[in-house]
Amino acid sequence: MKQPKAEAFDHLVEQYLALESLEVTEELLDLCGASIDTRALPLLRQRLHEEEAQLPQLEARGYVRLREKGEQLIASLRPLIAALEQEKDA
- pLDDT number for residue 1: 40
Residue 84: HSE in the Cβ half-sphere, 13 Å Cα cutoff: 21
pTM over 0.85: no
* Spatial separation of the C-alpha atoms in residues 81 and 76, rounded to whole Å: 9
Residue 4 CA to residue 2 CA, distance in Å, equals 6
Non-local (6+) Cβ contacts of 79 within 8 A are 12
What's the rounded Cα separation, in Å, for the pair 21 and 6?
24
Say which residue, 25 or 1, is predicted with more confidence. Answer: 25
> Taking the alpha carbons of 83, 85, 86, 90 in that order, is the dihedral positive or negative?
positive
Binning pLDDT at 50, 70 and 90, where does residue 72 land?
very high
